Structure 1
Amino acid sequence: MKNLKIVRLCAVIGAACLALVGCASGADDSPGAKGASNGGTSSSYERIQFDKKEPLRIGYSVYDLQNPYWQSYSAGVQAAAKEKGVEAVIVDQKSDQSAQVSGSLDLVNQGVSALVITPVQPDALPASIDAAHAAKIPVIVADIGAVGDYDAYLLSNNYEGGVVAAKYLMEQLASVEGKHKVGVIELHPGSVVGEQRVAGFKETLAGNDAFEVVASLDGNDTVDGGFSAAQDMLSANPDLAAIYAANDDSAIGAQRALETAKKSTANGFVLIGFDGSKGALDLIQKGLMTATIAQDPYGQGRKAVEIALDFLAGKSPAYDDEAQRTIYFPVELVDSKNIAQFQVSRAEQK
């Protein structure tokens, strides 16, 4: 029996590795990557009866623990597991696609009660999911993207974050007369998280005739890319009134471009980022950036454990999108008015 299990495991690993050959290089370039909906689900999905193994253990295959975001996510998983009297087994995949496939399958082979995965490459998920389901283990996909017959997909509400940013911008410039030109810095092509953040922003802003998006450029997700994109926008539109960046690194780059152009948020320019990173929070405190849409990786890690325990108790989680088995986690706008309170709340998570 043991030999048969090993043969099956090797077969699954082999299939997964073959699948990786055709994967895109970007971690979130798949149809389901960080989007509001996911094109990678299977219409054949059927909920199975999961085994509540004893002792209860939650396995978390995490993208990369060198990244502060995933450090916080992992801390949330561990904190929630400890509170519930459950063991958390954390495996760092170090941004390695093949390591994630084998690492996730190793957690299944160890007999974890539930599996949480932040995939390096979503297209490689089905092999791990199939192996987990064969062992009657529920699978919660934690951000990045979801493909296959996963049981739940948990991610930030990226589209709503864009909506919040647009409404905030309109409030900031409501008392300023005239038409306001706006620039948008996108994430790299194929990033569905970026597409959703930008769509929420643009579609909301389109309902207000006082605002016009005059440029929407790729910032390549980086500080340098944001700097370059913002420079181009400001050069073509010296009267630009605001920039919305789909991540904080691009916003930080845009702030440097503002300095070069002798513009600043102190003089009424509105600069909004997305993520809630330390660099962006520092700029907000210094009065050099207007706001950021903050995600909550720690809270999401805690939520992932709650979802896993619901499955093991025979309950379904409250899906926001039942067809895609997706659960959205709230985002929060942070500006100079609430940054002190925000930082206290985040410090309490540690």
Structure 2
Amino acid sequence: MVVSIKEIARRAGVSHSTVSRALHQSPLVRPDTAVRIRTLAEEMGYVPSAIGRGLATRSTHTLGLVVTTIADPFVSEVVRGAEELAMDHGYSVFLCQSGAQPQRELAAVRALHENRVVGVIVTSSRVGDLYGPLLAQMKVPIVLINNERSDPGIWFVSIDDRHGGMLATEHLLRIGRRRIGFIAGWPEATSSIGRLRGCVEALDRHALRASPYWTASANGRMDGGYAAAADMLSCRPLPDGLFCYNDLTAIGALKALREHGLRVPDDIAVVGFDDIAMAAFTCPPLTTVAQPRLDMGRLAVCMLLDLIAGRSVESQTLEGSLVIRESTLAAQGGDQ
């Protein structure tokens, strides 16, 4: 049973406000009374509320973290990195899920602000330009992960998505593929836009064009990758290489290709993005562009702590690395 300040006041024979002042070390309470109240509170098993302390001090030792869904393996690794570093510095983390819905994301950020968190991290934001008006009302720093923005008062930790898109596409071209398809993520996601841009630039370097018939949008999940790949397979000629927005999308695409009797990588080579743990265990194991997910979470917390302390910070763009597995290792011997 949770012990309240009112119960302590009743046992001590003093007012609610006197107990509150004593627990907050107020000089307005006589020392002997304060000691008696604090001793009684300890005996009764009273646990102070972080939110209650925040109401008194107008802040908490808590960071807010808004994610699309904790079920996403990319997100879960980012959360682990952020939470570990936050706890090492004495901060707790308040986690909210937006379901990749912009209005839910905004509502979560507002709720965290109302609960007086001292900083907010948002992964894979879907809000875009709606952040401007919200920032004008907020007095806490925001760091975005995987969403590059130039707004004043917003910082980000991101992968170089354009470079990652080029890495994936150049690899497909080096193993002899020329009809490259791309399954994108959410249309408003800057990460998806950057990866497509890198793919198109790599094709341009080889005097190749990205066909609209081999470009589809999905939702960043396995079901979206499955549906997008199945639709793409109705076109002729088929692509012989497929770059997917993330690994979950690629895993869904692999299932669709298999059900349509296509062999990976012999008929279509497939590349994902993220290098989640599952990527090494798909059939065949998935070639992918690895993101330093734990480091991204840790770096976002480092930036928040610096901002909270009044130190200047700069947004960070990291580079991914290509991890080659059997989904692109064809008879040609792969990318050496």
- In structure 2, the residue corresponding to 1:316 is in which secondary structure? coil
Show the counterpart of 1:310: 306
Residue in structure 2 matched with residue 293 of structure 1 by the alignment: 289
1:86 aligns with 2:82: no
In the alignment, what sits opposite 2:175? 172
Distance in 2 between the 1:142 and 1:172 partners?
A: 32
Aligned position for 1:61 = 66
Kindly provide the amino acid, as one letter, of the partner of residue 200 in structure 1.
G
> Where in structure 1 are there 5+ consecutive unaligned residues?
1-52, 174-178, 320-326, 338-350
Counterparts of residues 229-248 of structure 1 (less than 5 Å): 229-233=231-235, 236-237=236-237, 240-248=239-247
Q: What is the distance in 1 between the residues matched to 2:267 and 2:286? A: 9
Distance in 2, Cα, partners of 1:188 & 1:61: 17
Q: What is the aligned partner in structure 2 of residue 142 from structure 1?
A: 145
Q: 1:149 to 1:257 in 2, by over 3 A?
A: same
RMSD (CA atoms): 3.3
Alpha-carbon spacing, 1:306–1:224, altered in 2? closer, same or farther (3 Å) = same
* 1:207 counterpart = 2:211: no
Pick the structure with greater CA Rg.
Answer: 2
1:306-333, Cα deviation, whole Å (9 max, x unpaired) = 11122234433244xxxxxxx3233232
Render the CA deviation track for 1:136-167: whole Å, top value 9, x for unaligned. Answer: x3222233575854330222321111011122
| 2:155 and 2:314 in contact (8 A); partners too | no
Which of 193, 198, 211 lines up with 2:196 in the alignment? 198
Match of 2:75 among 58, 63, 70: 70
Query: 1:333: which partner in 2?
Result: 322
Give the Å deviation of 1:268. 6.9
The CA deviation string for residues 163-213 of structure 1, in whole angstroms up to 9 with x for no partner, is 11122223333xxxxx8332233335444432221110121222124x554
Runs of 4+ in 1 over 6 A off after TM superposition: none
Distance 2:92 2:259 in 1: 48
What is the aligned partner in structure 1 of residue 264 from structure 2? Answer: 265
Aligned match of 1:130: 136
Q: Distance in 1 between matches of 2:296 and 2:142?
A: 15
State the distance in 2 between where 1:219 and 1:289 align: 23
One-letter code aligned to 2:202: T
Q: Which residue of 2 aligns with 1:13?
A: none
Deviation by residue 1:75-108 (Cα, 9 ceiling, x = unmatched) = 211111123x231331314436555445433433
Return the alpha-carbon distance in structure 2 between the equivalents of residues 102 and 262 of structure 1.
45
3-state SS in 1 of match to 2:65? strand
TM-score by length of 1: 0.62
- 1:271-326 CA-partner distances (Å, limit 9, x unpaired): 1122334554322xx4x25512233433211111111122234433244xxxxxxx
* Cα distance change on mapping 1:245 and 1:126 into 2, 3 Å: same
Q: Does the 8 Å CA contact 2:273/2:290 hold for their aligned counterparts?
A: yes
- Separation in 1 of the partners of 2:80 and 2:158? 16
What's 1:228 paired with? 230
Structure ranking higher on relative contact order (CA contacts 8 Å, 6+ apart) = 1
Task: Say if 1:256 and 1:112 are closer, same or farther in 2 by CA, change over 3 A.
Answer: closer
* 2:156 is equivalent to residue 153 of structure 1: yes
Q: Structure 1: which amino acid aligns with 2:175?
A: Q
Q: Is the 8 A contact 2:67 2:97 kept in 1?
A: yes
User: Per-residue deviation at 1:266?
Assistant: 5.0
Asked whether the 8 Å contact 1:141–1:150 carries over to 2, the reply is no
CA distance in 1, matches of 2:275, 2:94: 24
1:185 pairs with 183, 199, 202, which one?
A: 183
Matches of 1:294 and 1:123, distance apart in 2: 28
Give, as a single letter, the amino acid of the residue that structure 1 aligns with 2:179.
K
CA contact (8 A) 1:129 1:149 kept: no
Q: For 1:312 and 1:183, how far apart are their aligned partners in 2?
A: 44
Gaps of at least 5 residues in structure 2 are 1-57, 327-336
For the 8 Å contact 1:186–1:220, the answer to whether it is kept is yes
Partner residue of 2:251?
252
Task: Give the paired residue count.
Answer: 262
Question: CA, structure 1 residues 248+69, in 2 after alignment: closer, same or farther (shift >3 Å)?
Answer: closer
Tell me if the contact between 2:142 and 2:155 (Cα under 8 Å) persists in the aligned partners.
Answer: yes
Matches within 5 A, 1:269-288: 269-283=268-282, 286=283, 288=284
Q: What's the TM-score once normalised by structure 2's chain length?
A: 0.65
Residues of 2 paired with 1:227 and 1:103: CA distance?
33
Structure 1 residues 147 and 316: CA distance shift in structure 2, 3 A: closer
